[in-house]
Chains A and B, each alone.
Chain A
Amino acid sequence: MNADIKTREYTTVSEVSGPLMIVEGVEGVGYNEIVEIETPTGENRKGQVLEVNEDLAVVQVFEGTDDLNTLNTKSRFTGETAKIGVSDDMMGRIFNGTGQPIDGGPEIIPDKELDINGNPMNPASREFPAEFIQTGISTIDGMNTLVRGQKLPIFSGSGLPHNDLAAQIARQAKVVGTDDDFAVIFAAMGITHEEANFFMKDFERTGALERVTVFMNLADDPAIERILTPKMALTTAEYFAFEKNMHVLVILTDLSNYCEALREVSAARDEVPGRRGYPGYMYTDLAGIYERAGRIAGKEGSITQMPILVMPQDDITHPIPDLTGYITEGQIVLSRDIHRKGIYPPVDVLPSLSRLMSGGIGDDKTRDDHSGVSDQLYSAYAEGRNLRDLVAVVGEEALTERDQSFLKFADNFEDQFIRQAKDEDRTIQETLDLGWKLLTVLPKTELKRVKDEFIEKYYPE
């Protein structure tokens, strides 16, 4: 019966508009099924059914609708939803945004064909992520701890070094006490050749390439294709994590470009827009990507996601970072102010957050004083930053001694705790000890967030 369906070919395109084409007179076409399109010039493209209404099918064309016509464009309905063939051999390979190898290597002989949309993970099957990942970066390890199976995005602005940070994390991430390496799946959506090269070179330089799988949709590739890219990458990640028992770190960059592509399709369909023209279902759509991170009870592997998104105008309330923040388990926010001071990585810890931190730290995981030190650094730095505004008005001399110590703390904190070199890999002990060292600037009575026993145990003399 499938053979029958596979021969259903039509030349009845009635309308082409933006990324969409409408085919009439179709029969038995399924919602979301994949369409193979042959342009009048003989080029092959792929599309997906977005809506079926009796004998009309609305098809979104991934590689763009250039050259399509309403006379002799052929569309073949495959009867199947989008799939990707996965196998062990994908490790170390480079694919385009639709999953075709582009590194000149052999075709992948699939071990399995998987639907790229996947099914939602049953919340009752999940295991709560609680294994500390040491990234070697103090602001993350100490104050916004990442754990295996978490989705923690980097919110950045244009011109900020988010790529350096992501590459550094990919290089340094490890679970202390084990020697399992992370497999990295890198999905690029609409980034430039230069940016892509930066990552590729970094992977090559550090010899990481053999444990990296790359899906590459660059800025000059068709925009609609990037709707598939993260799903391809995550389906592959699920295969590695839950069938091959690997710990996978998925880096998705840049989600803003993905959302633009969603908006483009939505606009072409004349849908009622939500905020700033993005479709009303963008939350659901993004959740379909981010929620694929996690751990499954009884399975070895895990998927940790680190999406990167560039906030338009550094605006964290823009719909893309906003909806992302509501789905992901925290966020690492980069700040232009700190960047301007020449501090790398310019992580602004105040709006940054890791929701899974409390489960991944403490006595048996990092150190017993971790949560207290982190809280204390947070509130002291917040207070110091507040005082800076006051100093601008009344001058430093008008401050009390106590307030001056907080001001000094904030400066030291930025200069020593936030700042680190691009290849500096600090252990969690080093990070926490550094935190204690900085706190000595403050009067001891102000350390209200740390329990007395830890002050006795760790306060540097």
Chain B
Amino acid sequence: MMEEGNIIKIAGPVIVADGMRGAQMHEMVRVGDDKLIGEIIELEGDTATIQVYEETAGLKPGEKIERTGGPLSVELGPGVMGSIFDGIQRPLEVIKELTGDYIARGVDVPSIDKEKKWTFEPIAKVGDKVTGGDILGQVQETSAVVQKIMVPPMIEGHIKSIVGKDQFTVEETIAVIETDDGDKEVAMLQKWPVRKGRPYAEKLDPDIPLITGQRAQDTFFCLAKGGAAAIPGPFGSGKTVTQQQLAKWADADIVVYIGCGERGNEMTEVLTEFPFLEDPRTGNPIMDRTVLIANTSNMPVAAREACVYTGITIAEYFRDQGYDVALMADSTSRWAEAMREISGRLEEMPGEEGYPAYLASRLAQFYERAGRVTTLGQDPKQASVTVVGAVSPPGGDMSEPVTQNTLRICKVFWALDASLADKRHFPSIDWLQSYSLYVDNITSWWQENASDEWRANRDQAMVLLQQESELEEIVQLVGPDALPDSQQVILETTRMLREDFLQQNAYDEVDTYCSPTKQAGMLKTILTFHENASAAVARGADVKDIAALPVKEEIARMKYIPEEEFEAKNKEMQEQVVTQCSEV
């Protein structure tokens, strides 16, 4: 019989209980007659403050608190992939079968199916010396994902026995490991406390880009595998579409998508759309490599606080198997607000804008769980967790604490801009404000894999865009005709860069994904235009004639050319640019 306490105070999602001496910080508890799930967040003498992950209406002082003896943990093993969970890893599909279309309280469901049998193929052999992170065998979980079944961290010894290829549930013993403290039985299922990062051997420098197929991000403000990026933007600036595009097309093996305090319909959209989208690299349905965590805005606020941890722990588990994992959190502001709400209920002294003083350290701890690492085990693999966090600054004001504290940690900043969104310039990434500190790290990758002129072209394009913003100021004062011809050419080129390169249509079949080679090719064509047009103007050609060149229209439509036809057509286009400019 577990020890019990009694509720003495209830205020929203926070309750206080006495008779809790001996309970641990962050221990998971069952609250009241409905056995709601809660977590201890403060201890003082005999009393414990508990945040409850479910609606607390109807709870009364005097109801019992049941301790579970362990921290809030996630269950890891085959059965995680392709599922949709709530913030504390309860599968929403199963809850739907149990309680109907609305989520009732106190539902007790296992996170992953304990009955289902998986075909386990052993890889390790009896007598093998193993340590934490070594691979015992594997399970083909979905078309896209083979789960490696690992020795849990902290276990070291020799394999005493291991099962043959057969069907097992996640809880059945598949191997026995003889260790210094006796024999340990290992099943496919692992539990891990969400607030503790899973161990790895060593952190590496991120020098491989995470290719997303999005031109503005990949070419100008690229993210590296194992890096962290922030997407702040006011509402309506396209954060969610940007996040979803990354979840769809990023070249990660596994995607964990956290809908933290966002709209229910957005999660439904992912659920209905992803099974029918093909991964451009493998041809498998994208859903087969995706784990969804949905804690929508109307679901209990404390579970919103937990959901980012649930998500990143799942991401780390796949990283440990040797995969490149991308995690999208939409939106970290809602997570921070959940912290603020709980902190307010605890009557803690508020920091900036009512957020708790520990906001910065919690954000840092979370983003630091991203990284490219070598995994544990005797045959270490290089794997990564990349984190992309959306930030929803109130009123679009980037000086607010969540944005500012996030920027201190993230090395990539994709600033979304409302005025671009108003013009339907999507993705509305502001090219003057955004930055990536990984450009130097990943230059060699791009030069080897896409084009050896990549870096020079990228930098030149950035300079042109910078010049445009200066020229625009002059145009605002004196009109475009007052500019010298050479500068008018710059404006022609940058308009092309903005409209024909940076703008990308997420809803167009072809344009939704753009490969690195196509990106490099498109950029090259635009810069070829710039070079030849500038030369023509220097010879004395009229800018108006340059502006009227028929090839411009073709350039405008090059984003819609399918990948396989692109190279040939692009070459033709570049030749036309040269001829047409020379004929002016």
Residues of A in contact with B (beta carbons under 8 Å apart): 27-33, 50-55, 81, 117-129, 149-150, 242, 271-275, 280-281, 283-284, 287-288, 290-292, 294, 296, 299, 316-319, 322-323, 325-327, 329-331, 350-351, 353, 355-356, 358-359, 371, 375, 378-379, 382-383, 389-390, 393-394, 398-400, 403, 445, 448-449, 451-452
Q: Chain B residues near A27 (CB, 8 Å)?
A: 62
Partner of B235, one of A55, A281, A325, A390: A325
Expressed in whole angstroms, the Cα–Cα distance for A351 and B61 within the complex equals 49
Shortest 4 CB-CB distances between A and B: which pairs?
A317-B395, A287-B297, A32-B57, A325-B235
Closest Cβ of chain A: how far from B298's Cβ, in Å?
Answer: 4
The segment out of B101-109, B140-148, B222-230 that lies at the interface is: B101-109
Which B residues, 216 to 250, have Cβ-Cβ distances below 8 Å to chain A? 234-236, 240
Partner of B102, one of A81, A122, A327, A445: A122
The segment out of B5-13, B125-133, B516-524 that lies at the interface is: B5-13
Expressed in whole angstroms, the Cα–Cα distance for A67 and B240 within the complex equals 51
Q: Chain B residues near A330 (CB, 8 Å)?
A: 236
A-B contact count (CB 8 A): 222
Q: Is the CB of B92 within 8 A of A124?
A: yes
Known contacts A351-B422, A448-B499, A284 near B341 by CB under 8 Å: yes
Q: Is the CB of A272 within 8 A of B267?
A: no
Q: Is the CB of A120 within 8 A of B296?
A: yes
Partner of A280, one of B11, B354, B476, B481: B354
Known contacts A280-B341, A394-B479, A124 near B297 by CB under 8 Å: no
Q: Is the CB of B268 within 8 A of A127?
A: yes
Q: Chain B residues near A390 (CB, 8 Å)?
A: 475-476, 479
Q: Chain B residues near A291 (CB, 8 Å)?
A: 263-264, 296-298
Known contacts A30-B57, A126-B265, A287-B261, A120 near B354 by CB under 8 Å: no
Q: Is the CB of A54 within 8 A of B9?
A: yes
Closest Cβ of chain A: how far from B307's Cβ, in Å?
Answer: 12
Partner of A351, one of B92, B236, B259, B481: B236
23 contacts between A and B (CB under 8 A): A51-B12, A53-B9, A120-B298, A121-B103, A124-B271, A124-B294, A125-B101, A127-B272, A242-B101, A271-B344, A280-B337, A280-B354, A287-B297, A317-B396, A319-B394, A319-B395, A350-B422, A355-B240, A390-B475, A394-B479, A400-B480, A448-B499, A452-B557
**Which residue of A122, A445, A451 has the most chain B CB atoms within 10 A of its CB atom?**
A122
Q: Is the CB of B263 within 8 A of A329?
A: yes
Expressed in whole angstroms, the Cα–Cα distance for A123 and B101 within the complex equals 9
Q: Is the CB of B267 within 8 A of A123?
A: yes
Q: Chain A residues near B350 (CB, 8 Å)?
A: 272
Closest Cβ of chain A: how far from B48's Cβ, in Å?
Answer: 15
Q: Chain B residues near A290 (CB, 8 Å)?
A: 297
Q: Is the CB of B9 within 8 A of A287?
A: no
Question: With contacts A30-B58, A272-B347, A399-B479 known, what are 8 further pairs, Cβ within 8 A?
Answer: A31-B10, A123-B296, A126-B268, A284-B261, A284-B297, A317-B397, A350-B422, A390-B476
Closest to B553 in A: A445
Closest to B104 in A: A119
Expressed in whole angstroms, the Cα–Cα distance for A216 and B84 within the complex equals 40
Known contacts A123-B84, A284-B297, A351-B236, A54 near B337 by CB under 8 Å: no
Known contacts A119-B104, A122-B96, A351-B236, A31 near B58 by CB under 8 Å: yes
Which B residues, 364 to 423, have Cβ-Cβ distances below 8 Å to chain A? 392, 394-397, 418, 421-423
Expressed in whole angstroms, the Cα–Cα distance for A322 and B393 within the complex equals 9
Q: Chain B residues near A383 (CB, 8 Å)?
A: 423
**Which residue of A31, A329, A353 has the most chain B CB atoms within 10 A of its CB atom?**
A31
Q: Is the CB of B423 within 8 A of A378?
A: yes
Which B residues, 319 to 350, have Cβ-Cβ distances below 8 Å to chain A? 334, 337, 340-341, 344, 347, 350
Q: Chain B residues near A325 (CB, 8 Å)?
A: 234-236
Partner of A52, one of B9, B268, B481, B553: B9
Partner of A122, one of B62, B95, B263: B95
Q: Is the CB of B263 within 8 A of A327?
A: yes
